[in-house]
Amino acid sequence: MTDLREQFDISYYEEELGISRYVVGWLEAIFESLPRTSQKEFLDAFFNAHPNTKDLSNLQHRMLEWQWNNASYGFSHRPLVRNDEVLVSFASELLGLSAFSEELQGKIASSWDVIGEKKRVETMAFARKWAWAGARKWAWVRGRAWRGAWGWLLVASRKQTVSQPTSLISAWNNALKWHKVWESKGKRIHALKDEFLSVVSSSSTKTV
């Protein structure tokens, strides 16, 4: 094992190990989000799964599906999110695609400008209105997940880049950090890490 900071040389992963740069993007994004004490264990677990012999072409899709549908950490279970028919419809269409769609990305971006910004103002207005009753915090909590889901959709619908997983994790994690105020960021990241390793371990073997 080389120095941990050298693990994310894209050309090394692609040329020497045959691992997609998008897989490396997820690996690096999760690695950077974990506490330092857990980073080496995470990399060891990844390499022990022998990813160079696996077909990981569906990893991006499965990670998006987990961030959207997971019972504990998925956006779809947040009240303001699941009640937004436009957002839910876009998410369903996104998760049903096997490849990037410029048409869907354009529709999501346009709706965020028209619907998302408008509703964000309404959410904050609601919070201010009920601040006297001590409800501002909870209006903010509900609104955070909703706005975060829209931001996550924008990132998820763009063409894949090496940096995309970092943005996806950030949008997802920041939106949910007030969902369970007693829960540490580390627990959410560890749950995401476990799903990533599960996808790697369960992926089918490449055919030659």
60-76: pLDDT as tens digits: 999 999 999 999 999 99
Q: What is the pLDDT of residues 32-45, one digit of tens each?
A: 999 888 998 998 89
Indicate the pTM of the whole model: 0.83
Q: What is the pLDDT of residues 129-165, one digit of tens each?
A: 655 555 555 566 667 888 889 989 999 999 888 889 9
Q: Is 111 exposed, middle or buried (0-12, 13-18, 19+ CB in 10 A)?
A: middle
- In a domain, residue 36? The reply is yes
What's the rounded Cα separation, in Å, for the pair 74 and 82? 10
- Tell me the pLDDT of the chain averaged across its residues: 82
Report the number of distinct structural domains present in the chain: 1
- In a domain, residue 208? The reply is no
- In a domain, residue 84? The reply is yes
What's the rounded Cα separation, in Å, for the pair 207 and 13? 19
Among the listed residues 154, 175, 21, the one whose alpha carbon sits nearest the alpha carbon of residue 94: 154
- In a domain, residue 53? The reply is yes
* Residues spanned by the domain of 91: 4-202
- In a domain, residue 207? The reply is no
- In a domain, residue 10? The reply is yes
pLDDT, average across residues 181-188 = 78
